Amino acid sequence: MKLDLAHRIPRFFGSLRPGPPSATDVSWALAALNEREQRLFTQMSNPDRRHAVRVARRVEAAYAEQFGTGGAAPEVALEVAVAAGLLHDVGKTEARLGTYGRAVATLSGAVGGLDLAEIWQEKSGFTRRVGMYLRYGIIGEQMLELAGSDPVVIAWSVEHHLPADAWTVPTQFGEILTAADE
């Protein structure tokens, strides 16, 4: 597992701030999701929901900038891209780890590698939750399939930390989502 400190450190400190996203942001996010996806979004932690809204808002702005009105149509519709931004980290909810537990899990993954995550997930207690956290993309994939999410949203939950040559999603979509995910 690659330890991307430029991504992880700001997320860590941002996670320490209490409180949910604004009511306006929550309403905007819920309007972009189907009923089952809405339930998934509301189950996410406050820091994860704040992050998800920031990512999705950046996606919306990038689409407006790149495609505008009357420009070339994107391969992935804006509505799907916004949902992908909102739900890309949804699998983290199943691990039920707080900020400090996630930091430990991330370091454990960097040291032990993701191969151990599947083994850890079969254990109990904190070790199990670390394994689940490290496999959150796969867990998120399953959650989104059950929620009836668009196939691109489902794929992005698994692929958003992979290199571009491993994506199954359209490259331009992946580049926009990657840039939006600080």
Percent of the chain scored above 70 by pLDDT? Answer: 89
106-163 pLDDT, tens digit each:
788 777 777 777 777 788 888 888 888 888 999 999 999 999 999 999 999 999 989 9
Domain extents for the chain?
A: 5-180
Q: What angle, 0 to 180 degrees and rounded to 10, lies between the N-to-C axes of helices 35-43 and 46-67?
A: 130
Average pLDDT along the chain: 88
The per-residue DSSP string of 84-144 comes to HHHHTTGGGGGG---HHHHHHHHHHHHHH-THHHHHHHTS-HHHHHHHHHHTHHHHHHHHH
